[in-house]
Amino acid sequence: MSLYYAAAFSVLPSGPGGPVRRSIFFEVYLFRPDDLVREWLGSPPDPAILDRAAVVVVAGAIFAWAGSLGWLANRLIGADRGLTRLERFVFAAGVGLNLVSTYVLAIGLIGWLDRAIAFFLPAVLTFAGAGWLWWRNHREPVWHVAERRASPVRKQWLWLIVPFVAVIWLGGMLPPIEFDVREYHLQVPKEFYQQGRITFLPHNVYGNMAMGTEMLSLLAMVVADDWWLGALAGKTLTASFAPLAALALFAAGRRLVSTTAGFVAAAAFISVPWIAQVSMLGLVEGAVACYLFLALYAFLLYATPGQAMPVAERGPASDHHTMREHAALADRSRLVLAGYLVGAAVAAKYPAALFVAVPFTAATIWSQVRRRWQVAWTSMALFLLAMAIGCGLWFAKNWALTGNPTYPLLYDLFGGETRTAEKDAQWMRAHQPHVFSLAQLAEDLMRVGLTSPWLSPVLLPLAALAVLNGRHRRMAMVLAAYFAYVIAVWWLFTHRIDRFWIPAIPVLALLAGIGAEWTESKPWRVVLLAALVLGAVGNFLAVASPVIADNRFFAPLARLREDPLRVDPWTRYFNNHAPDGCILMVGEAQVFDFRPRVVYDTCFDSSQFERLVKNRSPEEIRKSLLSMGITHVYVHWGEIARYRATYGYTEFVRPEVFDGLVAQGVLEPLPEIGGHPGRAYRVSVERSSLPPALLLPGTLP
């Protein structure tokens, strides 16, 4: 722990005294908590909390529908037999969220996003069916896990978890600030919502990948009938995967090891700053982590059916024979459950195909080695079918719309709409590793273990102690091998950004729970509690600070929507002075906050501007712009310079091209915003052809 807090904190620049240390959060906030509270209120302080009510209602309604649907599905296949209430809840939520997501995808593909009945009728039927089934079977036995020994965990320990859950949810309700979220995680659902259907997006390559989590945001937009409110509700749902994973870790640790292990696993996971950051920002790694662990837990229940057999609290089915009968009946259904959750992980993010689908398929094959071939083939078929149901519609959609089920990947094998050899080479240069050496491996492993900015001081040390737990050493070795596999795949096949291995953090957390039980001595209990408290305090000061994400948790949402710290000056200008216009974006791809219609492209897609301008006469260019309803052109030279230094960007876009269009009378420059690298132009047309609102010159901010 001392090594962790003494390590350099790479997010902040070095000062006169050398690198900033992780202990900076203690120094800044621990003895001045009023500074932190002031940041939560915004500047100037204007606390508001009731404006979150609509966000909570929309997100809560969708989560309730998903949970009810998942519970019905699990009851249908018998996967909930012998599970505790908490286990039923976490599996129902995980299954239901992906079922709802897949349903939204199907409805969007047939173009019914603007038909409210397509969503409200199934939701009502789900609630009615779940209510009837609960009333009919509410006297069934309620299962709980029998403790092998008294647990030292007390309810007061839960206070270590609650603050992190609160911060994650509060941060999840805030408007987006992260580039990828404003480029595609929320922008793509916004586009689908506005056009009323899900289609191929030739200008946003990311929008054609699997977007299982983003479908929840799309549903929220449909339910709220507003893309802005729906985006906040969808972002809140995305953040909710982290608390759901923490609950699953508690349930798994309690069943497989002990209540103490479950609590430590949940606390170690939810307090990791990386988990809080991706959850609050609206990134989907938290969802992948949740699905990965739920799949792992379901598979462990399948592979070790006698582990920590639950007992019934009440009801006629409380004898040992009945419990064994439930376990036998649930055996294959647990494998189906695991397969579906593996598919859900792949539907959330393509890399899960390597991180989750490949190892779980291999594990399923291995688990069938000693079974009769008829049983083995049936089990494998059920697992693969369930996995296909979980994610298959995404691949079918891409195959139908682009000719490549894995679009934009595997271009050499499938090709793909709008993709070229040059575009594929550009993509591969940006998304594959480049340096393979022992020195690079050591540096990257050091990042995973210590120097990555948003790690936790307790997670890895406790996980390392798991090998000392003799009673659960075999499980610990399996989990450690799986974590090592994920890191190996991350290093060999991805571009090695830190958040790509974050989905494996629940595996480390369960190892930490096992490690916490390596000995039952009282001195160790004191050390464990002290380490958890100290680590939780330090992590909370980090996740509640403005360094990790926007922490204005209680500032009015209306003010944050137009906040200069969040929204680019040119975005605010066009929102205020051309709300009914259409802006052609050049180099700017994070367009979520724009209220006018936008025509844009990512750096990995063909340039819309180049397509409209290259090898055309001034009059042809003007006619093309007007035929698309484009009223303004905005070019962000700062973003273009960044792309050219990293990913690559078309060389056609140069300042002299815009100067020529101005000289030819195609474009009229708008006044510059001092110090801003962006430039904006009005398309020159007959003044009578413009809407009155767009004839006003306006005043630049």
Q: How far apart are the first and last CA of the chain?
A: 48
Percentage helix, strand, coil for the chain under 3-state DSSP, each rounded to 5 = 65, 5, 30
* C-alpha to C-alpha distance for 451 and 34, rounded to whole angstroms: 29
* C-alpha to C-alpha distance for 629 and 627, rounded to whole angstroms: 5
The position carrying tokens 């990791």 is: 272
Q: Residue 539's CB: how many other CB atoms inside 10 A?
A: 29
Supply the pLDDT for residue 11.
Answer: 82
Write the CB contacts of 581 (distance below 8 Å, at least 6 apart in sequence). Answer: 574, 596, 597, 631, 632, 694
494 sits in the region (left: phi over 0; alpha: psi -120 to 50; else beta) called beta
Nearest Cα residue to 237 out of 182, 183, 293, 172: 172
Residues of the chain with pLDDT below 70 are 146-155, 306-330, 686-701
Distances (CA, A) of 646 to 12, 431, 643: 22, 11, 5
* C-alpha to C-alpha distance for 446 and 503, rounded to whole angstroms: 18
Supply the pLDDT for residue 128.
Answer: 97
For residue 565, the one-letter residue type is L
Span 462-513, pLDDT tens digits: 999 999 998 999 999 999 999 999 999 999 999 999 999 999 999 999 999 9
* C-alpha to C-alpha distance for 456 and 440, rounded to whole angstroms: 23
Strand ranges, E, within 46-94: none
Asked if 176 and 592 touch (Cβ cutoff 8 Å), the reply is yes
Supply the pLDDT for residue 695.
Answer: 38
Supply the pLDDT for residue 263.
Answer: 95
